[in-house]
């Protein structure tokens, strides 16, 4: 018995679908169609239907998709019908911003810990958190069973931090440092580097 392997490019679109559906839900909308979603998101209706059909039959011919139901289904598929604790490493500007960011609430995540190795920052308060010493990071993360971390340290420290996080049992890393990380295949990494995004667009500015 084998589980069908879902292409990661499909998985990557689900959160975008979900975001749009939750937006509609807030507008008190009841149903939508692949066509409406397609227009909002700038992709084809066929692609949306095909993507969703990988996981089940969520629509009704002639009517479309029940928004509330599809939101519930997608949250379950993405395993965010629970709250994941996140450890943030680096208490600089980026660490500050993510620690105080309200946007994780209701989207499946919660910052639980923030670490730094700078003695002048350790013990200080950021939002509701006290910055803890990176030296204790491995033990704390392991103890707490935290599986997701964000790296917000300089490029020169990011690989070291990643190595430690992997040792601590972290399985997913959101990396803000401008460097490609080397991690074992079972650990997932996503990158946020604003300069990379900007450079990509600059190409088209001619």
Distance CA 144, CA 112 (A): 10
Distance CA 203, CA 205 (A): 6
Pick from 44, 2, 1, 40: which is nearest to 18 by CA? 40
169 near its own copies, rule: CB under 8 A: no
84 near DNA, rule: CB under 7 A: no
Half-sphere exposure of 142 (CA within 13 A, CB side): 11
Whole-number minimum distance, CB 77 to DNA, in Å?
14
Whole-number minimum distance, CB 135 to its own copies, in Å?
26
Pick between residue 35 and residue 133 the one whose CB is nearest to its own copies: 35
Residues numbered 110-139 forming contacts with its own copies, rule: CB under 8 A? none
41 near DNA, rule: CB under 7 A: no
180 near DNA, rule: CB under 7 A: no
**Strands laid side by side in the 64-66 sheet:** 31-32, 64-66, 59-60
Q: Tell the burial category of 46 from Cβ atoms under 10 Å away from its Cβ (0-12, 13-18, 19+).
A: exposed
Residues numbered 44-83 forming contacts with DNA, rule: CB under 7 A? 44-47, 49-50, 52-53, 57-65
- From 84, 138, 144, 164, residue interacting with its own copies (rule: CB under 8 A): 84
Give the x-and-dash track for 2-21 against DNA (CB under 7 A): -----xxxx-----------
63 binds, among DNA, its own copies, none (CB under 5 to 8 A by kind): DNA
Half-sphere exposure of 32 (CA within 13 A, CB side): 27
Binding part of the chain for DNA, among 31-39, 96-104, 106-114, 180-188 by CB under 7 A, reads: 31-39
Give strand pairing partners of 149.
Answer: 87, 173
95 near DNA, rule: CB under 7 A: no
Give the burial string for 68-92 (b: 16+ CB within 10 Å, else e).
eebbebbbebeebeeebbbbbbbbe
Whole-number minimum distance, CB 160 to DNA, in Å?
28
Where do contacts with its own copies occur on this chain (CB under 8 A)? 11-12, 14-16, 18-20, 23, 40-42, 77-80, 84, 86, 93-94, 96-98, 100-101, 103-104, 107-109, 147-148, 150, 155, 171-172, 174, 178-180, 182, 188, 190, 192-206
């Amino acid at each position: 018995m084998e589980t069908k392997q879902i292409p990661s490019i499909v998985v990557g679109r689900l959160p975008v679908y979900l975001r749009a559906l939750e937006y509609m839900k807030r507008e008190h909308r009841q149903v939508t169609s692949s066509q409406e979603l397609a227009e909002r998101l700038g992709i084809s209706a066929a692609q949306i239907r095909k993507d969703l059909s990988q996981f089940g039959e969520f629509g009704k011919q002639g009517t479309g998709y029940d928004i509330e139901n599809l939101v519930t289904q997608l949250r379950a598929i993405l395993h965010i019908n629970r709250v994941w604790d996140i450890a943030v490493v680096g208490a600089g500007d980026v660490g500050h911003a993510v620690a105080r960011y309200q946007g994780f609430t209701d989207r499946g995540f919660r910052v639980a810990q923030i670490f730094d190795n700078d003695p002048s920052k350790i013990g200080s308060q950021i939002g509701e958190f006290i910055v803890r010493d990176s030296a204790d990071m491995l033990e704390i993360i392991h103890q707490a069973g935290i599986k997701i971390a964000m790296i917000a340290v300089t490029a020169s420290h990011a690989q070291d931090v990643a190595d430690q996080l992997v040792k601590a049992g972290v399985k997913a890393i959101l990396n803000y440092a401008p460097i490609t990380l080397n991690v074992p295949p079972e650990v997932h990494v996503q990158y946020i580097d604003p300069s990379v995004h900007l450079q990509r667009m600059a190409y088209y500015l001619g």
